[in-house]
A and B are shown apart, each in its own frame.
Chain A
Amino acid sequence: MLDYMRSNRREVIAGVVLIALLAAYLGSHPRGASTYVMTIWANQCLILGLAACAQFFAVVVRGIDLSVGAVMALTNCVASYLLDGSAVGIAVGMLAVVATGALCGLLNGMIVVYGRIQPIVVTLATASIFVGIALLLRPTPGGAVNYDLADAMTLDLLGIPTALIITVVAVIGFWLPFRRTGLGLGLYALGSSEQAAFQSGIDTRFIRLAAFTLAGLFGGLAGLFYSFVTTTGDAGIAAGFTLNSIAAVVLGGVLLRGGVGSLIGALAGAFILKTIASLMFFSGIPSLAQPLFEGMILAAAIAIGGADVLRARNKLEVFS
């Protein structure tokens, strides 16, 4: 157990911080730990959580995805057209929304892999394209999402917020098994040492393509869930989510140099970030000062993550 905690210390630290913050939040909230408070909190957290998952898949292969928010905006706008009407129509619509996200990711991946261009440049460009399409679809916020479905996804089940259930299912049903597949391990191998991965006979191109496609797919899921929460389509949501998704993965212990971190960490980072924001809201700090405090907390967290450099004995390693 101790060994397990040591080798996953980043996730453990993030988890402890999250629990402490949540306790502080529920303690300071006028309505306390009620289902209502928990549900609203969990919904906000899961939107950013899914965006952070998207960012995680790009970062773990030593990339970055600046189009996460744009994919969310695009899929949100698509959802606002497709998620109403007959049950079958809605089911197909949900698939189409997620598929749209995956396609966006696949496009990013193909340009990165076959065009041999850095992910930061590629996703900066495609982000504009995705937002552009979203704006054509929804020049102004609007559209509708089936209310019954939206309620089912964003309220609670026997007092437990649905968003938390979705989170647990994503971790247990998807992440833990995925981590044991060749693709799952290949992501880490590629991010940790591309040369070692290549020499071990891993198809590095396919893995990178898959990583960006997964990033797009989770961006699509984030957009879908955002649609359930807001029940409208809005093309203007991109920028905030992209930056916060990067902050979230860093907070959750995912190293931007790739190869280290987990989906659990990314989710925890997103939950922490949202909880801090909620805490600020009820703490009496003037709202104009909130970005200042959020930024300081974020900077402190990142500084702790970079403390490894102090152990380097060869000064040249600090720069590599």
Chain B
Amino acid sequence: MCNSNLKETNEMELLFDASSENEGFSRVAVAAFMTGLNPTLEEVSDVKTAVSEAVTNAIIHGYGFVKQEEEVKNKIRLHCSTQGKNIRISVEDKGVGIEDVHKAMEPLFTTKPELERSGMGFAFMEAFMDEVQVYSVVGEGTRVVMEKTLGKDCE
């Protein structure tokens, strides 16, 4: 289970509407995609939670203030690639962007307390993945890139 070929790679990309009903779909899609890596149940849960947080952020914060044009719907691009036991997930929106990424990533910080956002989104991504990077340009959008190496327990 642990001696998978390090050179083995796989890749997939999804483009979907930024609507909350796609939160479930996107995390399940990633969970299905990563089954080839023989993950543990906990690893699958970790990745699903992280994906859910990133996608929810894109919907609520990325596109939360953007008026949705009837013809051009807001989209989220989710890209996944694996190499050996490593999975890399990128969640990208073309929303408002984040002014202060460092502050946005602080636990409990939220710009939307009225929506009862707990401010734990980035903290959960960081807790459940090995690495989280956020690239954001105000007015252009945000890209969250997360990585995790599976099978650490067997080393």
Q: Do they bind each other?
A: no
Q: Which residues of B contact A (CB under 8 A)?
A: none
